[in-house]
Chain A
Amino acid sequence: MAETKSYYTIETDGTLLCQKCKVPLEKADAVFSYLENAFPVELPVCPKCGFVYVPEELALGKVLSVEKVLEDK
C-alpha cells in the first residue's frame, strides 16, 4: 500500500503536551489495526517517546464505526 495514503488526519496546534517528555505532540504517521485490517492515519504523536493520542471524539466516532463495520465482516 502506498505510504502516502492516509485515512484520517488530525492537525495539531501545540495545545497537546506530552506529560512525560514535556514537548508538544505533532502530527505524525500512525496505524490503526483491528481484526487483521490496518489503516494508515495521521494522529498527534509525541516526537520523543512516540505516545499516540486518540481523542475521545475520534474513539467514539470514526474508530467505533469502523470497528463495527469490521466486526460484521
Chain B
Amino acid sequence: MGVMKEHFKERNTRDYHQKRLFTKEELEERESLCVHEQSPFCSAACPMKLDVRDFVRRMAAKDFTGARAMLERISPFPEILAHGCSHPCEAACRMGEAGESIAIADLERVAMFLGAPKKGKGLLKFKKKKRAAVFGGELFTLVVAAQLADKSYPVEFYVEAGDAESLLKQCAPFLSEEILASAVRRLQSMDMKIFYGTDLSSAFVEEKRGAFDLLCAAGYLAKESPDADTLLGKDGILYPSEEGGECLRTFYDARRASVSADRLAQGLDPSTMRGEEGTVTSRLYTNMGQVEPSKRIPLRGEGEAYDGEKAAEEAVRCIQCVCEECLKGCTYLRHFAKHPRILTREIYNNTGIIMGDHMMNKAMNSCSLCGQCAVTCPNGYDMGEICRLARENMVDTGKMSLAVHEFALQDMLFSNTEGFLSCVPKGQEQGCRYVFFPGCQAGAVASEAVLRAYRDLAGRLDGGVALMLGCCGAIAKWAGRRELLNEQKDFLRQEFGKLGSPVILAACPTCRKTLEEEGLGQVKSLWETLLEIGLPEGSACHEEKVVLHDACGARNDQKMRQDVREIAGRLGFRLLPAEWEGEKTSCCGYGGLVAYANREMAAEMAEDCRKEFPDAPYITYCMACRDRLARQGAQSMHLLELLYECPAGTPPDISEKRRNRLLLRETILREFGGGDDMSPAGNGCASPEEMGFRAVITEEARRQMDDRMILDTDVWKVMGHYRDTGEAVLDQRTGLLIARLRIGNVTFWVKFTEDGAGYIIRGAYSHRMLVRTR
C-alpha cells in the first residue's frame, strides 16, 4: 500500500488545469429539474404577468398600498382591469383543490379601494420625437393611448364620444358610478390630447395618418385582421386581435400593441425580440399534502367588497405556492439558503475558476452526499451527486486542497494498513463461505460488540466465516479521490480473492452500498443473515419507546430498513414514528466527510436529526450515526451493542478510535489467528512506553486534541523528537515547555511540563504552513 503516500502531496496553487464539470447541455438538464423558480400557477395563468402570489402576500400583510401599486404597474387603468378581468388566476389557484381558490378578483378590487394612489408623476420625462395617433373609442384604443402617453410619445386620441365620462362608459360599461368617476379622473390626468366628438371614418384616418409615426385604431375601423403576434395590420396600423374582445384579452392586446409601437418607433421589426409574452405553463411543484382545506371568507353581500380585515383574512388563506421540498429535510441546503439550481450553477462556476478564490469550496464540501434531496425532490434533483462530481473534478484538476480531507484519508490509510486485518480462523484455511466486514467505525466505537458478533457468526454459520477489518473505500469516494478509491478497490479485491471471494457480510449500510456499487463481491447485510439464523441467544427484551434513526447508506435499501425494524421489534422496542425516516432519512453529519470539511455543519446535522424527539433514546444500525448522535448529547445505541449486550458507553475520541481498532485487531488475532499473514500491527502507533519514555495527557489537553484533530500518536512522536534532540522553547511566564515536529504536511506543537515521572502533556496545536529562518 506504499503508493498511497503519493496522494498526500500538497498541491501547488499556481499549477492546475481545466476540465469541464458538465457540458452546457448537461448543466442545463440538471438545473432544469429544480422548479423552485417556476412561476406560481396563478401568475403563470395571467397574461398581464401580475405576480399574483406576491400581490396576495401583500394583501395578507395589509400592505394595501403596495398591492395597489402592483396593479398600477401592469396597466394604466387598474380599476377597469380589476373589475373587468375574468381572473384565470382563480381557476389556476391550487387552493381550488383544498376547499376554494383564493378570491383574487375581490382582493384586487378592494386593493384599488384601500390602497393609496401613486403619488406624483415620477421622474421628469422628455417627450419622444415619434408621434402617435389613436383612432376610435373602445377599451383597446383607450389602453393603448394611455400606454403610449405613459411611454412619453406625444399622443393624439380621436374619439366619437362627447366627453371623458361617455368615452369610459363606452369602453367599460361594467363599472359602477363610483369607479367610473375615478377612471375619469385618471384619464383626465393623462398627458395626451383627446379630440372628443370626432366623426371617425376610414377616410379621416387616411387624411390624418401622414402626420404621425405610430398609428392605432379600434377594431371596428379594421378592414382585415392584424398579425396575430404583433397586432400590426397590413395598412401599418395597430388593431386589437378581435373586435369587442373580453376585458383581459383586450388589456393583453393593448400591451402587445404598445410593444410593437416601441419596435416600430425604433425602426425595428416588431416581430423580433419581444421577450416572453402571455401565459406560461408552470412546472412548479406544490405539496398539497399538509394543506388545511378552507373556504373563502364570504363577502357581506352580492356586489359588496371586503373590508381591510376580511381582505387580509382571505389573503392569509393563500399557501404561497413554492417548492422547497429539498430544503425541508436538509440542514445543508437550509444553511446555505440556496436552491439546488442556483447552488449547482455556483458550484459549476467554482470548478471553472482558473486563478482566483474558489468561494464555493466550502459549500461543495459541506454536503453529506446522503441522497436525501434525490428522494424528497419531486423531480429527483441529486445535489449530493453534483457535489461529489465537483469534488472529483477539483481533485482531477489539482484545485482541491488536501487539508480539507487529509485527516479522513489518513484514517482510511490507517484502516487499510496498520489497522487492517484479514483473518481466517484456524482450521478454515481451505476457504470460508463468508467474510464478516464490520466497517471502520464499528471497530472504533464498539469493538467488543464486533468481537462478540464475530464469535457468534463463526459459531453459528456453516461453511466458515473469515473476518476483515478495513475501509470499504467510501472515504476516498466521498473525498472525490478516484485514483485512491481505485487503489483501495484493487487492494480489497485482492484480499477478498485470497479468501476465495466469500460472501461479504456487511454490518455497515455504507460499506454494503459501497462494496456493492464498486463491484467488490457478493454483499449481504449482517441483519438479513441474523434474521435467517435467528438473533443471538439471550438478547434482552427492551420495552422502551425509541427512535430508529435510518442510515443514509440504507436510503435505497428497503430490505435492510425492514430487516432492522424486524430486529428492533424482536428486541422489544417500540418505534416512535419520525418524520424523516426510511428513505427520507437525514444524515447524521458523517456522510460526505462533512465532519472534516465543516464541523459546525456536521454538528448542526446531528442536532437536526434529534430535533423531533430531543429526549428519546435512539437506536441505529450505522456506527457513525450512533457516534455522532451520542456526541451531540443523544442517548444512542447501535443494534450490535443491543444484540450482543455490550453498551460501548460514551463516544471515544479520535485517538481512542484508532486504539480500539488496534486492540480489536490484536484480540482477534490472538483468539482466531494463526497464519503467516497475521503480522502484528506496524510501529506507527507506538505508545510512549514502547518509545522508551513515560507521558500522560491531561483531560483538558485530550479535549483540545480531539477538537483539533491531533492524535496522541502525533504527540508521542513530538515527544520522542524532543527526547532525542532536546529542542523546545521554555515559556518562562507559564513554565511550559513547547516542542514541535513536522509530520507529513503538518507541524505539531506540544505544550508540556516535565517531572521525574515523565512528561505531562498540557496542550497541543498544529499548522500546515512551513516555517524557517531566512
- Residue A66 at the chain B interface, CB threshold 8 Å: yes
Check A30–B769 contact: CB distance below 8 A. no
B729 beta carbon closer than 8 Å to chain A: yes
B726 to chain A, nearest CB (A): 4
Closest Cβ neighbor of B10 among chain A residues: A35
Residue of B401, B730, B769, B774 with most partner-chain A CB within 10 A: B769
Task: Please tell me if B403 contacts chain A, counting CB pairs below 8 Å.
Answer: yes
Contact at A25–B765, with CB atoms within 8 Å?
no
B698-736: CB near A (< 8 Å → 1, else 0) gives 000000000000000000000000000111111111000
Contact present for A72 and B726 (CB under 8 Å): no
Instruction: Check A16 against B732 for contact (C-beta < 8 Å).
Output: yes
Given contacts A15-B733, A17-B732, A20-B725, A66 and B404 within 8 Å (CB-CB): no
Does B737 sit within 8 A of A, measured CB to CB?
A: yes
Taking a contact as CB atoms under 8 Å apart, the answer to whether A52 and B763 are in contact is no
Q: How far is the CA of A15 from the CA of B604 in the complex (A)?
A: 42
Judging by beta carbons under 8 Å apart, are A60 and B403 in contact? no
Contacts of B403 in A (CB 8 A): 67, 71
Contact residues in A for B357 (Cβ distance below 8 Å): 69, 72-73
CA A22 to CA B728, docked complex, whole Å:
10
Q: Which residues of A contact B290 (CB under 8 A)?
A: none
The smallest C-beta distance from A56 to any residue of chain B, in angstroms, reads 5
CB neighbours (8 Å) of A19 from chain B are 726-730, 737
- How many A-B residue contacts, CB cutoff 8 Å? 108
Bound complex: CA of A44 vs CA of B767, how far in Å? 17
Is B768 an interface residue, CB under 8 A from the partner?
yes
Q: In the complex where A35-B11, A35-B12 touch, is A51 in contact with B763 (Cβ < 8 A)?
A: no
Complex partner residue of B773 from A18, A52, A54, A71, CB under 8 angstroms: A52
In the assembly, what is the distance between CA of A3 and CA of B773, in Å? 13
Which residues on B sit within 8 Å (CB–CB) of A29?
773-774
CB distance from B642 to the nearest CB of A (A): 41
Q: How large is the interface on B (under 10, 10 to 19, 20 to 34, 35 or more residues)?
A: 35 or more
Across the interface, do A54 and B767 meet the contact criterion of CB distance under 8 Å? Answer: yes
**B772 close to A52 (CB less than 8 A):** yes
A interface secondary structure, majority: mixed
What residues of chain B lie closer than 8 Å to A40, measured between beta carbons? 774
In angstroms, Cα B10 to Cα A41, docked, is 22
Contact A31 B12 (CB under 8 A): no
A59 near B770 with CB under 8 A, answer no
Residues of chain B with a CB closer than 8 A to A51's CB = 727, 729
Q: Is B279's CB within 8 Å of the partner chain A?
A: no
With A72-B358, A73-B13, A73-B356: A32-B729 Cβ-Cβ less than 8 Å: no
Q: Is the CB of B730 within 8 A of A34?
A: no
Point out the residue from A18, A31, A63 that lies within 8 Å of B729, measured CB to CB: A18
CA A20 – CA B722 in complex, angstroms?
10
Q: How far is the CA of A28 from the CA of B729 in the complex (A)?
A: 15
Residue B766 at the A interface, CB < 8 A?
Answer: yes
A10 CB contacts on chain B under 8 angstroms = none
The interface residues of chain B lying within 8 Å CB-to-CB of A56 are 749, 751, 763, 765
Q: Are B738 and A32 in contact, with the CB atoms below 8 A?
A: no
| Residue B14 at the chain A interface, CB threshold 8 Å | yes
B-facing mask of A36-60, CB < 8 A → 1, else 0? 1100100111000111111010011
A54-B747 contact, Cβ under 8 Å, with A19-B729, A60-B765 = yes
Query: CB-CB < 8 A to B740: which residues of A?
Result: 54
Given contacts A16-B732, A28-B773, A35-B12, contact A64 B767 (CB under 8 A): yes
Give chain B nearest CB distance to A66 CB in angstroms: 7
Which residues from chain A contact B766 at a C-beta distance below 8 Å?
59
Residues of A within 8 A of B725 (CB): 20
* A23: min CB distance to chain B, Å: 11
B361 contacts A by Cβ under 8 Å: yes
Q: Does B531 lie at the interface of the complex (its beta carbon under 8 Å from any beta carbon of A)? A: no
A17-B732, A71-B403 known; A63+B738 contact, CB < 8 A: no
Residues of chain B in range 318-366 having any CB-CB distance to chain A below 8 Å: 355-359, 361-362
Task: Give min CB distance, B599 to chain A, whole Å.
Answer: 13
CB pairs A–B below 8 angstroms (18 shown): A16-B732, A20-B725, A30-B774, A31-B773, A33-B772, A34-B10, A34-B770, A35-B10, A35-B13, A40-B774, A45-B773, A50-B773, A51-B727, A53-B738, A67-B767, A67-B768, A72-B357, A73-B358
Binding site for B on A (CB under 8 A): 3, 15-20, 25, 28-37, 40, 43-45, 49-54, 56, 59-60, 63-64, 66-67, 69-73
| Interface of B toward A, CB cutoff 8 Å | 10-15, 355-359, 361-362, 401, 403-404, 725-733, 737-738, 740, 747, 749, 751, 763, 765-774
Going nearest first, the 8 A-B pairs with the smallest beta carbon separation are A71-B401, A19-B728, A17-B730, A73-B13, A34-B769, A59-B767, A20-B726, A15-B732
